[in-house]
Structures are given as structure tokens and as C-alpha cells.
Amino acid sequence: MRRYWRDLWGTRAVTVRSSLSPAAAVDRLAAARGRAFAWPPGSSPTPRLRIVTGRLSVHRVWLRAHRPGSRNSWRPTLRGRFEPAPGGSVLVGAFTVHPVSQAFTALWLIGLGSCAVIGLAAAVAGAVRRDPSVLLGALGLAGAALGMAAFGVTLTIVGNRFGIRDERALRWWLDRHLHVGV
């Protein structure tokens, strides 16, 4: 569960060195962007195709790898920039889930958690007053809220698991295209 929260709310730093200048590195990535590639390479008789999309400039890199035809709001996005370095450049950035997905997930879980707490408090009040209709209604509210929260957490866990595969594919793609001679 700790990994789930780290992957959803945290960032994972990435640093990729290249012997290319920042402008040449951007040009090389831009030329390869949008073309499908097999992932994982050579380890499966039926590899899954991935496509890298996003925006590229020396000062702003925003890239995602995804399977054609799939949608995943919790897919990690690389946000970074190229910095000049002795003998080439360095892509410095971090993988993170899109902020809108994070905000929606937080609002969803906070809202459902609040409904569960209110339902449980109302159930206690119904039990104290010995009113079975209030007790059952409040327990129903709390149960529905907890069930929807469990569904939301499960959905984000599955999205994160698939997203981590896309992150690994993008890391491999970056290494492949930023190292000259590969």
C-alpha cells in the first residue's frame, strides 16, 4: 500500500546523460516521438507496442509513453528540461501523475471518507436514540461510501500498475535515443 501512495502522490527523479548538445538531443527525440516501438524489447514473443507523445524543447520536456488505443489517467508523465553539461547535456526531470488526476483522486477519496464518517456518526446517534430506520440508513450511507472508496482505490492501483510499465518503457526509450551510437 505504501508503494501505491508513493507512485500516485510522489515523484520519481530521472537523470539521463547524453553526449548530444541540448538542441541535438531535442531534435533526436522529436524525430523518434510518435513512432511505435515494441516493449519490452526482445523478451516476449508478443511484445506490447508503445508510443511516446508529448512536447519537447530545450527548456521544457513533457513526455508520456502509452499503449495505442489505451487510456490511463494515472500514467506517469515525464516533466523536465535539458541542461548543458561538459561533453553534452543532461535531461533532468521527474515522473509524476498528472496533477488533475491527483486532485480528482484526492477529492474523491476525501468526499467519500467524509460521507463514511458522517454515516457512522449518524449510525451511532440512531443507536443511542434506538431508532432503527436512522441506524440502517446511516449504515447504508457509510457502507456505500466505503464501497465506492474501495472501488476508487482499486481503480487507481490498477492504473498505477499499468502506468509504471509505461514509465519503464519511456525510460528505456530515452536511454536508447539519447545515447549516440545506439
Asked if 140 contacts 126 with a C-beta cutoff of 8 angstroms, the reply is no
Helix residue spans in the chain (DSSP H): 2-9, 22-32, 99-129, 132-178
What is the pLDDT, as a whole number, of residue 38?
76
pLDDT, one tens digit for every residue, the chain (182 residues):
666 666 667 788 999 999 999 999 999 999 999 888 876 666 555 567 888 999 999 999 999 998 888 888 888 899 999 999 999 999 999 998 888 888 888 898 899 999 999 999 999 998 899 888 888 999 999 999 999 999 988 888 888 888 888 898 999 999 999 986 43
pLDDT for position 1:
60
- Pair 28, 178: CB distance under 8 Å: yes
Q: Give the pLDDT confidence score for residue 50 in this predicted structure.
A: 86
Q: Tell me what pLDDT residue 155 has.
A: 87
Q: Where are the alpha helices (DSSP H) in 10-131?
A: 22-32, 99-129
Going by C-alpha positions, the residue among 114, 83, 116 that lies closest to residue 16 is: 83
